[in-house]
Amino acid sequence: MNAIEVTGLTKAFHGRKVVDDVSLSVARGEIAGFLGPNGSGKTTCIRMMCGLLTPDAGDGQVLGHDIRREARAIKRQVGYMTQKFSYYEDLTIEENLAFVAGLYALPAEAVRDTLAGLGLTSRRSQLAGSLSGGWKQRLALAACIMHKPKLLLLDEPTAGVDPKARREFWDEIHGLAADGLTVLVSTHYMDEAERCHRINYIAYGRLIAHGTVPEVIASAGLTTFLVTADRPGELAARLRKAPGVEQVAPFGTTLHVTGTDRAALERALTEAGASFQPGETSLEDVFIRLMGQSRDNMA
Amino acid sequence: MTGISLRRLGALLRKELIQMRRDRITFAMMLLVPLMQLVLFGYAINSDPKHLPAALVAPTQDRFSRAMVSALELTGYYDFTHVGISATEAEALITRGAVAFVVTLPSDFGRRVERGDAPQILIEADATDPSVASGAISTLGTVAAEALQRETGASPTQPPVGIVVHKRYNPEGITQYNIVPGLLGVVLQMILVMMTSMALTREIERGTMENLLALPATPVEIMLGKVMPYMGVGAVQVAVVLLAARLLFGVPFVGSFGVLAAGIFTFVLALVILGYLISTLARTQMQAMQLTFFFFLPSLMLSGFMFPFRGMPGWAQTLGEVFPLTHFLRLIRAVMLKGAGQPDIAQPMAALMVFVLVYGLLALARFRRTLD
């Protein structure tokens, strides 16, 4: 049975649908990426799955418990890391962990083990409020895995964290998944999406793509050419207007030119007199296209 | 960039007005507080209370005792709510605070008036609040004499009765005896309600509420966890005020400490839960402060702390009953100054327990387990 199996989740705030008919399944032991632009409904979805929000429509199960009726049972087995740091800034690391351990009725060793496991022992008497972003994130992760949950819901855990700390964080997540923990992690970093086993892409409240990274890229049916030019800015401006060209993204002196119709794309590039070679379509190209599509659908 | 630019000033003013309008509670306070003060000071407060409940202890009912009662009632100060009761019953009534006066006529009152040997009337006044009884007592002598003179038709050369006024519980009329115990209630109310009213709004403002809700704690556990520390704070305040009452103001303590402790405990519990209830209503700490103030102001005026409770019109007295402070003042004054025991304070005690229950249930009903 899947760790997360929800169908038709819908939630509106003040008459505006923030999440619209989202169905999601996450297998046990999987690291599932939850992607989408800001305000696309990722946080609302996660909150509905851990019982913090009541869905207007839809239902489902998390770890075999009904999300509407068994929120308490879900809370006990889920570790939820909020987007905004939500531990007590006027408590030390150790005091925060002891508070959480108390609420889960964990033995005193749990705090000590967690501190050691995450390399927080030397900083345990430091006030949470005085920690840098990376350390706050570490504390939050420590607090939500202390009770050995079966599912981790991480809401943009690496926002504002430096690359080294991000790398370490992901190593930690993969380590936990290897031990059988299921992880749903929301992010809008593409490199992080590629670290997930499967991804789910949500935009404007709708789930519009899901699968492994290669599957999602393949299903978009995009062709990308790499164009080198002396004056890429000027060429990019011209190409954007050309028929068949859907995206032009500059990467240094190279342009990534993307479109669905390979023939039309080649024609446009030849007409522009550009020298080009086939390139790989990136996840970012796919997402930008998906976002544009779903915005058109909304309009 | 020097001088005042009307455009810049306009932009600042517009932004302030928009923010003011968005914060509904603040806006309501700005309109309601002056109105409330106006009504309370204008209509409710009266420092010369009339229609005070009185009891008559008269072994025999005759035309003289009836004349006395009607003459006293005509002054407007006395309302004889209990007539023809025994001295023991009257004692219980005045201890409980159910009557403000007990008028006792001797058994052979009528005969002695007729004989003209000026029998003595005993008027016991509850002087815990010295200002309450003063007006009533000052009119007493002349009214009683005139009434009986009319009855007997005797010459006014010699007064027909002798009047003995006995100011109970606070014979010297020391205001502090009344104020200081009441102050305990006011201090507790001010600090405890204010502190606990921040309980949940602080979590919300600091962004820790979402996490608290995601953790496995029940609403009752969260409520108790929030209010119990402040009960400890309350205990320290009680000790400080009671010691000061004794050492600095020499306020007597004639009742049982156990009985008072039980009353204080219930009162404090009601206050911290009320504060918690406010914190479930307010969205920000600022709003919590304002709601506390909005509660605090009328309770101070209508509870009988600042002005005599019996001096207020009926509607204001009814309104006053909804404040825990009103009942606590009755309780603590009765116990400390009158030595009231458990049965005497059963009524205020029950009222305080009702507050605990009602506030607690409302707070739990208001508490949102989700972020909806």
CA distance B206 to chain A (A): 8
Residue with tokens 């690391």: A93
The CATH number for B52-168, chosen from 3.80.30.20, 3.40.1710.10, 3.40.605.10, 2.102.10.10, is: 3.40.1710.10
Q: In this model, does residue B26 exceed pLDDT 80?
A: no
For the segment A205-222, the average pLDDT, to the nearest whole number, is: 91
Q: What is the DSSP string of B155-179?
A: -TTS-S-EEEEEEES-TT--HHHHH
Of B208, B210, B215, the CB nearest to A103: B215
Residue A163 has pLDDT above 60, yes or no: yes
Q: Which residues contact A231 (CB under 8 A, 6 or more apart)?
A: none
Query: Any idea how long chain A is?
Result: 299
Residue of B205, B209, B210 to mutate when probing chain A, most A C-beta within 10 A: B210
Does B213 touch chain A if contact means CB atoms closer than 8 Å? yes
- Taking an 8 Å cut-off on Cβ atoms, the answer to whether A75 and B215 are in contact is yes
Question: Nearest-CA neighbor of B326 among B347, B344, B309?
Answer: B309
B12 vs A: CB within 8 A: no
B369 interaction partners in chain A (CB closer than 8 Å): 71
- The fraction of chain A above a pLDDT of 90, given in percent, is 55
- A51 at B interface, C-beta within 8 A: yes
Residue pairs spanning A and B at CB distance below 8 A:
46
pLDDT at A56: 94
Asked if A76 has any chain B CB less than 8 Å from its own CB, the reply is: yes
Residue B1 has a pLDDT of: 56
Residue B154's pLDDT is what?
Answer: 59
User: Which tokens hold the place of A179?
Assistant: 């031990």
- The CATH 3.40.1710.10 portion of chain B extends over 52-168
pLDDT of residue A271: 87
Chain B residues in contact with A55 by the CB 8 A cut-off are none
Comparing alpha-carbon positions, the chain A residue that sits nearest to B205 is: A86
Torsion angle, alpha carbons of A181, A182, A184, A189, to 10:
60
What's the pLDDT score for residue B158?
A: 65
Give the pLDDT confidence of A113-139 residue by residue, as tens digits. 999 987 889 989 999 999 988 889 999
pLDDT (tens digit per residue) in B51-93: 889 998 888 778 878 888 888 888 888 888 988 888 899 999 9
A52–B215 C-beta distance less than 8 A: no
Closest alpha carbon within chain A to B221: A103
Any CB–CB contact under 8 A between A13 and chain B? no
Mean pLDDT in residue range B189-195: 91
CB contact under 8 A, B214 and A75: yes
Task: Mark yes or no for CB contact A104/B216 under 8 Å.
Answer: yes
> Closest partner residue to A53 among B209, B217, B371, by Cβ?
B371
Residues 93-112 of A with CB under 8 A from B: 100, 103-104
Which residues in chain B are contacts of A82 at CB distance < 8 A? Answer: 207, 210-211, 214
In whole angstroms, give the CA distance from residue A104 to residue A93: 17
Q: Mapping DSSP to helix (H, G, I), strand (E, B) and coil, where does residue B204 land?
A: helix
Q: Which residue has the tokens 């400080």?
A: B240
Query: Which residues does A264 contact at the CB level (< 8 Å), separation at least 6?
Result: A243, A244
Find chain A residues with C-beta within 8 A of B226's C-beta.
Answer: none
Please check the confidence at residue A65 and state whether its pLDDT lies above 90: yes
Give the alpha-carbon dihedral of A88, A93, A99, A105, to 10 degrees: 150
The pLDDT score that the predictor gives to residue B196 is 93
Q: Please, which residues have CB within 8 angstroms of residue B339's CB and are 6 or more apart in sequence?
A: B95, B254, B255, B256
| Cross-chain residue pair B370–A52, CB shorter than 8 Å | yes
If phi over 0 gives left and psi between -120 and 50 gives alpha, with beta otherwise, what is residue B304? left
- How does residue A298 score in pLDDT terms, banded at 50, 70 and 90? low
Name the minimum distance, in Å, from the CA of A4 to any CA of chain B: 17
Task: Tell me, yes or no, if B208 comes closer than 8 A to chain A by beta carbon.
Answer: yes
B80: left (phi over 0), alpha (psi -120 to 50) or beta: beta
* Inter-chain CB proximity B208 and A87 less than 8 Å: yes
B38-43 contacts, C-beta under 8 A, 24 or more apart: B40/B298, B40/B301, B40/B302, B40/B316, B41/B301, B43/B313, B43/B316
What is the average pLDDT across A4-27?
A: 93
Q: Please tell me which residue, B43 or B2, carries the higher pLDDT value.
A: B43
From B215, which residue of chain A is nearest by alpha-carbon distance?
A75
Nearest chain B residue (CA) to A105: B216
Three-state secondary structure readout of chain A: CCCEEEEEEEEEECCEEEEEEEEEEECCCCEEEEECCCCCCHHHHHHHHCCCCCCCEEEEEECCEECCCCHHHHHHHEEEECCCCCCCCCCEHHHHHHHHHHHCCCCHHHHHHHHHHCCCHHHCCCEHHHCCHHHHHHHHHHHHHCCCCCEEEEECCCCCCCHHHHHHHHHHHHHHHHCCCEEEEEECCHHHHCCCCEEEEEECCEEEEEECHHHHHHHHCCEEEEEECCCHHHHHHHHHHCCCCCEEEEECCEEEEEECCHHHHHHHHHHCCCEEEEECCCHHHHHHHHHHHHHHHHC
A63-77, A221-235, B27-41: range with highest mean pLDDT: A63-77
Percent of chain B scoring above 70 in pLDDT: 97
Q: Do B216 and A72 touch (CB under 8 A)?
A: yes
Distance CA A200, CA B281 (A): 38
The predicted-structure confidence for B283-324, as pLDDT tens digits, reads as follows 889 889 989 988 998 899 899 888 888 888 888 899 999 999
Taking an 8 Å cut-off on Cβ atoms, the answer to whether A47 and B206 are in contact is no
Residues A283, B63: Cα–Cα separation, whole Å: 106
What does the pLDDT look like over B132-174, one tens digit per residue?
Answer: 777 778 777 777 777 777 777 655 556 677 888 888 888 888 8
- Give the pLDDT confidence of B278-294 residue by residue, as tens digits: 999 998 898 899 899 88
Closest C-alpha to A90, from B234, B280, B202: B202
Report the gap between the CA of A182 and the closest CA in chain B (Å).
Answer: 18
Question: What pLDDT sits at residue B368?
Answer: 83
d(CA A202, CA A119): 35
The CA-to-CA distance between both ends of chain B, in Å, stands at 47
* Cα distances (Å, whole numbers) of residue B200 to A173, B275, B363: 33, 10, 11
Neighbouring residues of A112: CB distance < 8 A, sequence distance ≥ 6: none
Closest approach of chain A CAs to the CA of B193, in angstroms?
23
Question: What pLDDT is attached to residue A288?
Answer: 85
The partner residues of B53 in beta bridges, in order of sequence, read: B79
Domains of chain A, each with CATH number or no CATH: 4-212 (3.40.50.300), 223-280 (3.30.70.100)
Question: Quick one: what percent of chain B has pLDDT higher than 90?
Answer: 34
Q: A72 contacts in B (CB within 8 Å)?
A: 216
Note the pLDDT of residue B331. 94
Whether A88 contacts chain B with CB within 8 A: yes
Distance (Å) from the C-alpha of residue B102 to the closest C-alpha of chain A?
59
d(CA A9, CA A49) in angstroms, rounded, equals 9
pLDDT bin (cut points 50, 70, 90) of residue B353 is very high
Task: Give chain B's mean pLDDT.
Answer: 87
